[in-house]
Amino acid sequence: MTNPALTNKILAIALLASIALAGCSGGDTPAEHSAADRAEGHTSSSAGLPAGHIAAGEKLAQTKGKATGQSCFDCHGAEGNAPIDETYPKLAGQYYDYIAHSLQAYRDGDREHPLMSSQAKELTDQQIADLAAYFGSRKGSLQDLHGMHHD
C-alpha cells in the first residue's frame, strides 16, 4: 500500500517541475533576478529561503500591506481558510514550497496578479518563509483528490 502523504508530495514536486519546464520551453531562459534583487539577497528557490517562523508569519499575515492596504486575511480569510472570492486560493494547510514559490514569483514579476504582484513586491525572503511556515501550519480544508472516482 502506498503512503498518501508521500504520493501527494511526489505529485506536487512533479507538478512544479512540469510548470518550471513549461516556462523554459521555446528556447527561453528562465527569468533572472535583477541586480536589485540580488543586492537584497533574494533567492528564487524555496530551498534557499531562511527558516520560517510561524508566529512571525501569523503577525505578518494580519498586517495591512502598503501597496493595497489589505492583509492576507482580508482576501484569503482567517488563517487562510475563507477567501472572499472563489477564485482566490485557500492557503491554510497548503505546502510550504507552493506558498513560498508563489510569493517569490509574484515578488519577482515571474507571475502576475493585480493585487498579489504589488503586495508581494516588498517582501523579503524571511517574510516569505514566515508566511509560508504560518499558512502551511494551519489546519486547512484542502482536499486530497487522489483516489477520487470520476463519473
Residue 13 has pLDDT above 80, yes or no: no
Decide: pTM greater than 0.95: no
Hey, what's the torsion of the CAs at 61, 62, 64, 66, to 10 degrees?
Answer: -30
Superfamily of domain 53-142 in the CATH hierarchy: Cytochrome c-like domain (1.10.760.10)
Q: What is the pLDDT of residue 48?
A: 72
Backbone angles phi, psi at 142, to 5 degrees: -65, 145
The Cα 89–Cα 79 span in angstroms is 12
Q: What is the mean pLDDT of residues 27-39?
A: 38
Q: What is the pLDDT of residue 141?
A: 72
Q: What is the pLDDT of residue 31?
A: 36
Q: Would you list the domain boundaries of the chain?
A: 53-142
Q: What is the pLDDT of residues 78-124, one digit of tens each?
A: 999 999 999 999 999 999 999 999 999 999 999 999 999 999 999 99
